[in-house]
Every structure is written in structure tokens, then in C-alpha cells.
Chains A and B, each alone.
Chain A
Amino acid sequence: MGHDDRDSVLTVNRRDSSAGGLSAAPRWALLCVALAGLSLQGCGLVYDALQYVAPVATDELDAICRRQRVQVGMAVEPFRPFVFPAIWTDEGSRVTGLDVELVRHIVDALSQQCGRPVTPVLHLVRFRDLFLHLSEGKLDLFVSAVPSNMPVQAWAGFAYSIPYFQHGGLSGITRRTDVAERIRQRFQPSSGASPGMTASEQALAGLTVAVQDGTASRHYAAANLKDSRMVVCDSLPAAFESAETSADPWIDVILGARPVLEYMVTRVKKDWQLLARADGKPFFLTRAQYAVVMSEESYRLRWFVNAVIFRLDESGRLERMRARWLDEPYAFPRRAAVEGLPFDVEKMVSHYSQGECRADRAR
């Protein structure tokens, strides 16, 4: 940032000095330019004309190379195994997970592309704020198990890479065997109920579902689960805490990203179970693919990130990453110590709290 600021100061100074040269030009010429400028206002033509005369260097990849830093956003709420909670190690505070490993690959490729080391500056912020930070230009990209195929209005106007994780989707978990059984019985795709959304809606009708604010599960539930009561939680850990310790609001099912829920019920919250269909197959509300999110105008960066993911996929590395984080037994503190990335403490929300849950009164 500091380099950037200095660069821009220098540029301004250079332009100032050339403007000083113009002051020597006849006054009538300046007047003509000013009149022409005024006549073009409002049409966007002033900008176009300036671009034509002196194209501005807007290549975000060059900018990253120049500052040797890439600003990367990540959700501070854990999305295990994509993003684990920040943890202390012998090297200081670190964050790790599948998404962090992907960032490492992108940064390595950027360093190669730039011909000098590029450092990731991790911003750990709330999931719902990632889009805001990106649109404000604070981030070059962000990655936090974000589905690229969800028709979410709030996520429009951003660009998504090719998927780095193909096996996502929305699903649910419950701690109550009666709820699990009820859904199993209700979700009979071959028993006459219309497939797809209607069947899912029917399966969850009358139940109270908890969703994380700002995530795909919240948007899906708001759009599709009209007959369910909704509880909105600030994070997945908040949903667990609320469901386990409080009857107000009551929670029957927690909806969320299937791989995250699967990780939780198999390794952390073993008294919870994944919802399943009557035929024993996993219960999915919808499928999803996870992608890196960038600004729509970041064309070169998008090509670049796509190429990195494509090469990782072709080489089999993506699949190995998936297996490494989802299938293998491991403890994340050890991985954080060995391969975790440091994050910018100043850019992390202070005193991160998992938050709480509240009933969606609007429904």
C-alpha cells in the first residue's frame, strides 16, 4: 500500500509539472479545451476521450506485481475444512484450510508471473462483508467456499473463477432422530411428489431451520422454503450453540454447505447427523461449485486465476487437495503451524464473536 501511495504521489507530481508546461500555452487554447470538456460531460465521453489520448494502466495483475502484495479476503467465521479458525502457532497467528492452500497456489503462480515474490495479505472479515470489501477495492479477490452458481441478487456484479471445488451443495443436519426420520419419510422423490424444489420444500415444511446470515443457505431458504420457520445465525458455531443450549429460538435443522456440515458431524459434532433421503442417498437442496470471487473488471486477474485452477485440476492436484482436507485424518493446528498463512491482525474483526441466532420475524 505504502509503495502504491508513493507511486501515485509521484504520478500526480509528474502530471502537475506537465500541467505547468501547459500554462505557457495561449489562453484561448485552454478555453477551447475547457469548453469541449463541458460539452462532453454527462455522456461519459470525457473519460473515453482521456483514455483515448492517454490510456490509464488499469491492469490489476500489473498492480499486484508492482506492489508485490495481493489482498485476499477470507471469512473469519470458520468454514471447516475450507477455512479453519485462526490459531496460534510457533510462528504466530495462522489460518489454514483448503481455501488457504488454494491461495498459496495462486500466490506462488503470481510470484512466478511477476518474477519476484508476491505476498498474500489476508483480511479475515465476516462472510457477509467480503462482497462489500471487494466492491470497495480493499480486496483483489476472496475465497471462502463461495458457490458460483447461486442466483443471489446480493452477489450480482461480481465475477467468479472456474470452480475449484465441484462437490458442494446445500444440505442439512439435525441432532434429533425423529426429525431425521421424518425427513427421510417425507423425502420420497420416486413416490409421486414432484422432484426438485417442491420435494425439498415439503421435506422441511413445518420445521425450524437455522441458516447463517449472508450465506447461500440463507438466500436459498429465503427464496424457497416458504413453509419453514427460519432462524438466522451469525455463524455456524452460533447455530450449534443455540441449538444445543437454548430452546429460544428452537432449531430442528441447520442448513449449510454440505462438505462443511459433513466435516462437522463426522469430526467435531458427532451427536449430529446429516439428513438423508429414504433411499439412503444424501439429502441435497441444491448442488454447488465453489469459486474464487473477483471484481467484474478484473479481466486479466480472472484469466490468471482460472489458468491456475485449471492447471491444478489437470495435474490432479485439486483432487489431492480435496482428499487431503476432506478425507484424511489430521488435526488442523499442526497443519496451521506447517503451512498456514499469517493474516493481517489489523484487518481482522477485533474480539471475533461467533454471534448468536434470532428468529426471522419477517416470515
Chain B
Amino acid sequence: MRTGLLMVTLMVWGLMAWGVTDVREALAVERAEAEETARLLAKLIRAGRLVIDQNQAVIDDPHKGDKGFTPDVFEQQLIEEFRKETTIDLRTLAAAPSSILIPPLAKELLPAFVLASKEVVRDAQVVINQRGIGYKNFIPATYGSQAARRFTTQSRVRLKQTTLQPRNPKNEPDEYETSVLKWLSGRPKAEAYVSELTEEGQTLRVVMPIYYAKDCLKCHGEPKGELDISGYPKEGAHEGDLAGAITVTVPLSTR
């Protein structure tokens, strides 16, 4: 009788332990997938910023009317930059098998971000295609802010550009972002990112740093305090300094 009871108890414990392990494994997989998705999203917005930067001279050409920088042209360049960065071809993403490298969530969200970005470029056409107007303020930062905002309103994942002293108050870092940005600013430039669970494991936050490139310094470099072309005081930054970060917030266990 006792032996039977012991057997049953052991079986129950075993099943519970197996269940717990199962749940832990599921959570670990979910986190890994969310983290990879967040990382890819951050890389995608960074690729979009790069495309705008590469086309800045065309966009700001006062002698040209129709610049030919259409949403479709932007999309092609964005996909290409993203492919160079990650080897993932967004054109064939739907057909690609899901894996830890291309999680199902990424297959859903990456095209959504491309669409949001195209909408931004589409809406900016009237501004971009003005002839006789040079600087139009359609720059990596303003593109990124709009694209992130549009994506966020249509998604459960939050995408944001932030920095310790943002020019746009809407990009003000929250407490968590502030602490990460301060930590990052004390470290040398690196191809790394910060990933942490917050809100008692309910949310995954990924912070990918952005560093100042040479082109950025026209507006953000020296002399510190002098007004740049858009009317903001220059930050006095140097090439390689931390410019800010792209942050991605993914709610977990809500899918």
C-alpha cells in the first residue's frame, strides 16, 4: 500500500517537474524569439536611416523637382541595406522557414515596419519634391521618429528612437532607457545591444545604440551651442560618440 502511494506521489512530482521544465523551455524560446525579432527591427530602422542618409543630397537638391525617391525606390534600397546587414532577404521572407534566426514574430513585424516606412516616404513626397527648396528636414532622425511611431500605433511592439538629451521631447528616454543610455555612454563604441526582461518578466526590452557618423556632425558636432540648419544648438559631438539608441519593447506571454 505504502509502496503504491509512494509511486503515485513520485509520478505526480515527475509530471509537475516535467511540466515546469516545459513551461520554462517555452518561455526561454519565447524570449529568444522576441529578442531576435527586436534586434532585427532595430537593425531595420537603422537601415532605413542609412538609406535616408545616403539619399540626403538628392532630397535636399534645390534644383530638382521630382527627385525620384519614391516609396518603392526607398523600399528597394531598404531591403538591400537590411540584407547586407543581416543576410535576410525581406523579399523572400514569407517563404523562408521559421527558425530562431527568423522567428514567426519577425516574419510578421518586419514587413509591417517596411510598410510603415513606405507610408512615411509617401507622405513626405510633397515636401521632398519641392523645387527651389534646399533643406527639407527629411533626415534620418525625423524619418525614424515617424516610422517608429506609425509602426507602434499598428503593433503591440513599441519602437522608439531616444537619447539622453533629445531635440524632440517625445523622444525623451524613460527611466529604464536613461539608465541604459548612461551605461552605454561610458563605454566604447561596439556592435552590441542590451536585452533585459522588465516588469517582472512581462516585457522584453532591447536597446541598440546608435553612434555619430561623420555626416551627423554637420548638425550635431562642433562648435557646441551654435545653431544648426534646423535651428537646434549643436551638441558638440565627435565621430563615434553615442548618439542615442533604438529601443524595442516586446510584451511577452501575450501572443
Contacts and interface: CB of A to CB of B under 8 A. Distances in A.
13 contacts: A85-B130, A87-B137, A90-B141, A90-B146, A91-B146, A235-B132, A237-B133, A331-B230, A337-B230, A345-B126, A348-B126, A350-B126, A351-B129
Interface string B152-174: 00000000000000001011000
Nearest to A345: B126
A330 B170 CA distance: 22
Given A90-B145, A345-B123, A350-B125, 13 more contacts: A86-B127, A88-B138, A88-B142, A93-B124, A93-B127, A237-B133, A331-B227, A331-B231, A333-B231, A334-B230, A337-B168, A352-B129, A354-B132
B123 A85 contact: no
A332 interface: yes
Contacts of A336: 137
Q: Top 3 closest A-B pairs, CB basis?
A: A331-B231, A354-B132, A334-B231
A351 B126 CA distance: 6
Nearest to B230: A333
Contact of B126 (A90, A93, A334): A93
B136 interface: yes
A46 B230 CA distance: 60
A237 B66 contact: no
A296 interface: no
Interface residues of A, number: 30
A89 B66 CA distance: 20
Contacts, number: 84
Interface of B: 65-66, 123-133, 135-138, 141-142, 145-146, 168, 170-171, 227-232
B127 A241 contact: no
Nearest to B150: A92
Interface of A: 78, 85-93, 235, 237-238, 241, 329-337, 345, 348, 350-354
Contacts of B171: 90
A333 B230 CA distance: 5
B127 A87 contact: yes
B137 A333 contact: yes
Contacts of A345: 123, 126
A331 B145 CA distance: 20
Nearest to B144: A90
Contacts of A85: 130, 133, 136
Contact of B65 (A92, A329, A351): A351
Contacts of A351: 65-66, 126, 129, 131
A57 B140 CA distance: 50
A86 B126 contact: yes
A89 B142 contact: yes
A88 B229 CA distance: 13
Contacts of B137: 87-89, 333, 336-337
A85 B127 CA distance: 8
B231 A332 contact: yes
Contacts of A335: 231
